[in-house]
């Protein structure tokens, strides 16, 4: 009697375990399909973004957004747009932001451009290597040449820091192009919420070197989608094996 009871209990447990595994695999399969579909949607969004940015980068430059348009400036609509701005550089308020480029390690030179209406736009004038920092400082100490016109790519601020380090305004150490932070540290009370990466037009003395903006977007959504769909297929295969085993056991 005890042996028969055990066999009966085991037999009842097997269908329950198969039902549990089937339901669990069906839930996983649905989740994997949803994740794969989401990655496909992200793929088409990324491809559209790449096309839009490519069109902006190669378009004719337009005037940088004025003060009246600053609240509406956004990464989705404006980043990497070719723009122009005119004014006078405030070299005494420039900051150096740590950078790593195709030319090696060094700094971005972020200099406020003071416009006719006294508003300011931070200009990333370009890159200076570590060992040329002193030469740049001596060149910038000379009298400004007067009004200038800058052409480049509109970029959004990079708040906080970078390289796993936080910006330190008090020590004048900058690891990201934090527009609001730099404006506050340099007492720029009317600064645009964006900055401009200057193009490759040569600067006096050859420094800084502009035109080093890297326009690229990581696009691994197709790989992620294939991975999620493959996991969904594996879940479906698991369901098939469970029910095939049930038929064979019968």
pLDDT, residue 6, reads 47
Low-confidence ranges of the chain (pLDDT < 70): 1-14, 49-50, 135-145, 217, 245-250
pLDDT for residue 164: 75
Question: In this structure, how many other beta carbons lie within 10 angstroms of the beta carbon of residue 40?
Answer: 17
The predicted pLDDT at position 90 comes to: 92
Q: How far is CA 195 from the centre of its chain?
A: 15
Task: Judge whether 116 and 87 are in contact, CB under 8 Å.
Answer: yes
Q: Specify the pLDDT at position 49.
A: 65
pLDDT, residue 149, reads 94
CA distance 95 to 4: 84
Residue 248 pLDDT = 52
pLDDT (0 to 100) of residue 156: 94
pLDDT of residue 187: 95
In this prediction, residue 3 carries a pLDDT of 53
Instruction: State pLDDT tens for residues 179-225.
Output: 999 999 999 989 999 999 999 998 877 889 998 887 776 778 788 88
pLDDT of the residue at 213: 85
CA 87, chain centre distance (Å): 29
Q: How high is the pLDDT of residue 188?
A: 94
Widest distance between CA atoms in the chain: 105
Distance CA 71, CA 51 (A): 25
């Amino acid at each position: 009697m005890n042996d028969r009871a055990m066999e009966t209990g085991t037999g009842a447990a097997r269908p329950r375990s198969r039902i549990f595994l089937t339901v669990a695999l069906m839930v996983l399969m649905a989740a994997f399909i949803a994740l794969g579909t989401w990655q496909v949607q992200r793929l088409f969004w990324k491809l559209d973004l790449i096309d839009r940015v490519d069109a902006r980068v190669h378009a004719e430059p337009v005037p940088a957004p004025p003060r009246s348009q600053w609240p509406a400036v956004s990464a989705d609509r404006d980043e990497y747009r070719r723009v122009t701005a005119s004014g006078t550089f405030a070299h005494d308020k420039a900051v150096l932001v740590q950078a790593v480029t195709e030319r090696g390690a060094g700094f971005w030179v972020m200099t406020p451009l003071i416009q006719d209406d006294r508003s300011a736009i931070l200009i990333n004038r370009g890159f200076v290597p570590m060992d040329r920092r002193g030469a740049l400082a001596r060149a910038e100490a000379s009298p400004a040449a007067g009004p200038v016109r800058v052409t480049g790519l509109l970029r959004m601020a990079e708040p906080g820091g970078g390289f796993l380090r936080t910006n330190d305004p008090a020590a004048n150490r900058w690891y990201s192009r934090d527009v609001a932070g730099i404006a506050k540290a340099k007492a720029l009370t009317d600064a645009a919420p964006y900055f401009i990466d200057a193009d490759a037009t040569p600067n006096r003395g050859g420094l800084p070197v502009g035109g080093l903006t890297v326009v690229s977007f990581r696009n691994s959504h197709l790989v992620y989608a294939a991975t999620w769909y493959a996991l969904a297929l594996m879940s479906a295969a698991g369901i098939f094996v469970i029910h095939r085993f049930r038929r064979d056991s019968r």
